[in-house]
Amino acid sequence: MTTTAAPATGERTAQRNDPGAAPRRRRSGRLRRIGLPYLLLLPALLLELLVHLVPMVIGIVVSFRELTQFYVRDWTTSPWAGLDNYTLSVDFDAPVGQALLHSFLITCLFTVLSVGLCWLLGTAAAVFMQETFRGRGFLRTLFLVPYALPVYAAVITWAFMFQRDNGLINHVIHDQLGLTDSPPFWLLGDNSFFTLLVVSVWKGWPFAFLIMMAGLQNIPRDIYEAAALDGAGVWQQIRRITLPSLRPVNQVLVLVLFLWTFNDFNTPFVLFGKSAPAAADLISIHIYQSSFQTWNFGAGSAMSVLLLLFLLVVTGLYLLFTSRGKKASDG
Amino acid sequence: MADTAHRPSRSPMAPPRSFLWSRRIFLTLLTVFVLLPVFVMVTSSLKPLEDVTGKFQWIPSGLTIRPYFDIWETVPLADYFTNSLIVAGSATVCSVVIAVFAAYAVSRYTFRGKRVFTVTVLSTQMFPGILFLLPLFLIYVNIGNATGIALFGSRFGLILTYLTFSLPFSIWMLIGYFDSVPRDLDEAAKVDGCGPLGALFRVIVPAAIPGIVAVAVYAFMTAWGEVLFASVMTNDATRTLAVGLQGYSTQNDVYWNQIMAASLVVSLPVVAGFLLLQRYLVTGLTAGAVK
């Protein structure tokens, strides 16, 4: 009460002395009330501006400049390049454009497979673990371990397992099961795509599991009881009640998984180092290499901008499509 | 079926055999998949060097705890550890505080630009890190030249960067969580003489502790595990674990047993913390993000 009482009495005394003072004070009070939400948002806003939005604008500007190592000390002196960086990136007959297109297609295939498998494992595990059984709590904790482990620690362990001469995978498939004539390379050549996929799914599915578990808790129990009374079996309950109820959760989950997987840098970087084998050359690694290994930041920025445009279009279409589908099923 | 028949079943109908067997097989395979790297990490960290340079062995020829002593000598792991703790800890605290303020504003006030703010903040999640890595590098270098505040190569710059990584998701999740705290509670607090900030800290924050813990865990894990920015924006003195761990394999020999021991040691703080607090994460997600 004290904080609100003090200005009120002050206002009353001021009113007696100076008739013009009262509206001004009331206005400053209203200003404070309106200003408060902005004040609360200010730190978040400033930091987002500094780290995300301003760099994005600079990135777009740089994509129109010829920024090589000669200009990196003061990037504002670099000459304008017009659309050169873009034409270089999308000229699919030339080596640079060809490599970018290849990397893009690899990333698309990788993302579809990885997101699909993560979703499948996460959903199946969450649905199987909806009912209580002995050891459920323990398993739930265990399944979150890949999510909790720092990326580099987990991925380095996988890199060790996939070593040609001293790894676990080759020991099992070559030495113990005798499936191959000679131990294959997993971190070089075409196999590296499969390696990357396995590691990515191992790392990513617990997040789907976590979100699905949270989503399942919001389904009211009595729907199942009513369905059971009507004679619906467990499989039917899962198909008719559980999966449809998870639709809104799915909309967000699939989008988040898609963006994270498509932009993933950490997994291939720790697995393969600064330059990934062609079969596992994800777009982030490709752009990183184009910018930092060859010191052509202009071209790297142009590729990043193209990537962002692609993600914006896909996200927009996805949201439009899934929201319309939702409306149609509601109505 | 026999074991379920004796127990009073929770659901009106006991699940059929096909469901129970599918569940058993699926969960067993999944457990093997999840645990395989953990098994390799733990056993290899206790093997002598010959065991990890030669053919893989399920059962070690001998057990040794030498790798756990050697890891601190081969690379300055303790320094990296300190750097990671400072960076991830500070980023977490700042990120949570800033997210609480922002989520409070969005959840409890109507103001012009609210939708623009939430959409903008959330959409930064979709930016590829590679897009703003170079510009951020340029900005930090320029700020450093202009003001003398070292952002590039310093822990402070890395803290600023990391805290914005977890901010969008944290704000989004806390908005949902704060929305689920009844408005009557903070109205009552205001009647009792709390200002807007009093209502936030005395009523809303205590009621939203699970959500806040969940957000803090997320922020810490994000900062602890980040590789891309750490590899570009740190120098020898400020190197974090994410980059430092690569030091074991750039030597002539790859000390796999030490790498595994170091991986285990750097994972322990996050995994232990995460597993202790995972209950909050599920309840936090249930009330906040998943609605």
Distance CA(A151)–CA(A265), nearest Å, equals 11
**Is the Cβ of B10 closer than 8 Å to some Cβ of chain A?**
yes
Q: Does the pLDDT at position B83 exceed 70?
A: yes
What is the reported pLDDT for B78? 92
**Domains of chain B (ranges plus CATH)?**
2-66 (no CATH), 71-287 (1.10.3720.10)
Distance CA(B291)–CA(B289), nearest Å, equals 6
What is the reported pLDDT for B247? 78
Q: How far is A329 from chain B (nearest CA, A)?
A: 18
Distance CA(A62)–CA(B107), nearest Å, equals 37
Rounded alpha-carbon distances, angstroms, from residue B250 to A158, A188, B247, B255: 18, 18, 6, 10
- Length of chain B counted residue by residue: 291
Number of H helices, E strands in chain A: 17, 0
Q: Which of A131, A144, A312 sits opposite B11 (nearest CB)?
A: A131
Overall average pLDDT of the A49-60 stretch: 87
Q: Does the pLDDT at position B35 exceed 80?
A: yes
Q: Which of A40, A142, A291 sits opposite B134 (nearest CB)?
A: A291
Structure letter (DSSP) for residue A80: B
Find the residue in A nearest to B127 (Cα): A308
Q: Is residue A275 within 8 Å of B120, Cβ to Cβ?
A: no
Q: Is residue B101 within 8 Å of A43, Cβ to Cβ?
A: yes
Distance CA(A169)–CA(A158), nearest Å, equals 10
**Is the Cβ of A54 closer than 8 Å to some Cβ of chain B?**
yes
Residue A5: pLDDT band by 50, 70, 90 thresholds?
very low
Overall average pLDDT of the B76-91 stretch: 93
Tokens, residue B62: 């001998």
Of these ranges, A201-205, A283-287, B219-223, B273-277, the one predicted with the greatest mean pLDDT is A201-205
Tokens, residue B174: 């806390």
Overall average pLDDT of the A169-193 stretch: 88
**Is the Cβ of B277 closer than 8 Å to some Cβ of chain A?**
no
Count CB atoms within 10 A of the CB of residue A123. 23
Return the residue matching tokens 């294959």. Answer: A184
Mean per-residue pLDDT of chain B: 85
Residue B146: pLDDT band by 50, 70, 90 thresholds?
confident
Least confident of A73-87, A306-320, B12-26, B166-180: A73-87
A120 contacts on B by Cβ (under 8 Å) = none
Give the three-state DSSP class for A65. strand
**Is the Cβ of A53 closer than 8 Å to some Cβ of chain B?**
yes
Q: Does the pLDDT at position A27 exceed 60?
A: no
What is the reported pLDDT for A283? 92
**Domains of chain A (ranges plus CATH)?**
2-46 (no CATH), 96-330 (1.10.3720.10)
Q: Which of B41, B101, B259 sits opposite A40 (nearest CB)?
A: B101
Find the residue in A nearest to B13 (Cα): A228
Least confident of A36-40, A81-85, A252-256, B73-77: A81-85
Are B278 and A40 a contacting pair at CB < 8 A?
no
pLDDT by residue (tens digit) across A87-112?
A: 888 888 888 888 999 999 999 999 99
Q: Does the pLDDT at position A318 exceed 70?
A: yes
pLDDT by residue (tens digit) across B227-237?
A: 889 988 888 88
